C-alpha cells in the first residue's frame, strides 16, 4: 500500500469510528424515544430523547460517515494525497464539538443552538473546501460522477448555513417562542438525506463502471 493511501486511511479513521459509535448510541436513544411514545413516561430523559436521537444519527453518524468516506475516496480517485490532513482533523474536531454542545443543550435550560450550529458550519465548510479543491484536479475517467459529489458537499454546506441562520433567528425571538417543531426538524433531515444520496450516487457512478471495465456510466 502506498504512503498516500496510508495517509488517507489515517485521516478517515476517526470519522468512521465515531460514526459507528454514534449510530449505536443513537439507536439506543431512538428506542427510548419510541418507548416514551408508547406510554413509558417514567424513563429518565425520554423528553429529550428525540433531540438526542437526531443529533447522534444525523449530525453524528450520517455527517461523519460521509465526510470520512469523502476524505478517503476523493483523493484516491485523483491518485494524490489529501491536500491538508490537519484541516481534515480540524473539521472532525469541530463536528464533535458541535455534537457535544448539542448534548449539553438538550439537558440545559438555555439554548445553545447557535454555537453548536456555528461549529458544525465551520467543520462542514472546511470539508467542502477540501473536496472542491480536490475535485478541480482532472481525473482520468468518469468526470460526470464528480458533479454528484460536488453537489453533495454544496448541499451539506447550505444546510449547515441554514442551521446557523435559523438558530440566530430563534435567539432573536422572545424567550417564550424559542423552539422548533418536529416537522421542521424532519425537513432538515430530508435535506441531509439528499446530501448523503448525492454522495452515494457519485461514488457508485465513479466506482462501479471502473470495476466493470466501462469508460462511462
Q: Scanning the structure block, which residue is given the C-alpha cell 441562520?
A: 165
| E-strand stretches of the chain | none
pLDDT digits (tens, 9 = 90+) for 70-80: 898 888 877 78
pLDDT digits (tens, 9 = 90+) for 24-58: 888 888 777 777 666 655 555 555 666 777 788 88
Confidence of residue 178 (pLDDT cuts 50, 70, 90): very low
Residue ranges per domain, the chain?
Answer: 3-212
171's CB contacts (< 8 A; 6+ apart) are 111, 113, 114, 178
Look up the CATH number of domain 3-212.
1.20.210.10
When the pLDDT of each residue in the chain is averaged and rounded to a whole number, the result is 77
Q: Could you say which DSSP state residue 61 is in?
A: I
Rounded to 10 degrees, what is the CA torsion of 171, 37, 64, 19?
A: 140
Q: Does the structure show a pLDDT above 80 at 144?
A: no
Give the residue among 89, 73, 192, 91 at the shortest CA–CA distance from 134: 73
State the pTM of this model: 0.79
User: Between 85-107 and 3-37, two packed helices, what is the crossing angle to 10 degrees?
Assistant: 10
Confidence of residue 7 (pLDDT cuts 50, 70, 90): very low
Could you give the CA distance from residue 66 to residue 47 in angstroms, rounded to a whole number? 29
Q: What is the pLDDT of residue 188?
A: 64
Average pLDDT of the residues in 72-96: 87
Q: What is the pLDDT of residue 126?
A: 94
Amino acid at each position: 500500500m502506498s504512503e498516500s493511501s496510508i495517509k488517507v486511511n489515517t485521516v478517515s479513521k476517526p470519522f468512521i469510528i465515531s460514526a459507528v459509535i454514534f449510530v449505536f448510541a443513537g439507536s439506543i436513544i431512538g428506542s427510548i424515544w419510541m418507548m416514551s411514545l408508547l406510554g413509558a413516561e417514567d424513563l429518565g430523559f425520554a423528553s429529550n430523547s428525540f433531540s438526542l436521537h437526531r443529533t447522534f444519527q444525523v449530525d453524528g453518524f450520517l455527517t461523519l460517515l460521509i465526510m470520512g468516506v469523502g476524505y478517503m475516496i476523493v483523493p484516491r480517485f485523483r491518485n494524490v494525497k489529501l491536500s491538508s490532513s490537519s484541516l481534515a482533523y480540524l473539521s472532525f474536531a469541530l463536528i464533535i464539538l458541535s455534537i457535544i454542545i448539542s448534548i449539553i443543550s438538550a439537558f440545559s435550560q438555555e439554548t445553545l443552538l447557535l454555537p453548536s450550529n456555528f461549529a458544525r458550519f465551520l467543520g462542514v465548510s472546511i470539508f467542502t473546501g477540501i473536496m472542491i479543491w480536490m475535485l478541480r484536479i482532472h481525473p482520468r475517467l468518469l468526470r460526470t460522477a464528480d458533479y454528484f459529489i460536488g453537489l453533495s458537499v454544496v448541499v451539506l454546506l447550505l444546510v449547515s448555513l441554514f442551521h446557523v441562520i435559523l438558530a440566530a433567528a430563534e435567539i432573536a425571538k422572545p424567550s417564550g417562542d424559542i423552539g422548533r417543531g418536529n416537522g421542521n426538524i424532519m425537513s432538515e433531515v430530508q435535506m441531509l438525506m439528499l446530501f448523503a444520496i448525492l454522495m452515494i450516487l457519485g461514488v457508485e457512478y465513479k466506482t462501479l463502471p471502473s470495476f466493470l471495465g466501462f469508460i462511462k456510466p
